[in-house]
């Protein structure tokens, strides 16, 4: 994480220097130099992002394998079904909606 901060900090410093140089005089990085700075920053961030993704998936799997998680999911789905029927949906309609409703998640569009 500190390597990302250092890389992003260096990138921001370089960009700030470029902006300051533009205002103060002719010395500013070329578009190619700015592109290289940004590519270096992204190159340093990609491995960390991979490790963070793995950690998030691992945490989700640890949570999913707990029996109490299954009980909470069942409760959520049953409550949703009952509420839909109470609101006037047919049992078949409510069942289809429950089947197509994603579980609450920290990641978008997981089903």
Q: Write down the domain spans for the chain.
A: 1-65, 66-105
pLDDT for position 73: 94
Residues 6+ apart with CB under 8 A from 3: 44, 48
Tens of pLDDT along 37-75? 888 888 888 888 889 989 999 998 999 999 999 999 999
- State if pTM tops 0.75: no
Write down the mean pLDDT value for the chain.
Answer: 82
pLDDT for position 17: 63
Comparison of pLDDT for 59 and 28, the residue scoring more? 59
Percent of the chain with pLDDT over 90: 40
């Amino acid at each position: 994480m500190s390597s990302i901060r250092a890389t992003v900090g260096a990138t921001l410093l370089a960009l700030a220097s470029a902006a300051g140089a533009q205002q103060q005089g002719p010395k500013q990085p070329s578009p190619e130099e700015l592109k290289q700075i940004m590519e270096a920053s992204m190159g340093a961030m990609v491995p960390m992002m991979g490790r963070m993704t793995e950690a998030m998936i691992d945490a989700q799997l640890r949570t999913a394998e707990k029996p109490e998680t299954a009980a909470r999911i069942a409760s959520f789905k049953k409550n949703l079904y009952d509420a839909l029927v109470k609101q006037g949906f047919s049992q078949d309609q409510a069942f289809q909606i429950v089947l197509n409703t994603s579980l609450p998640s920290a990641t978008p569009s997981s089903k």
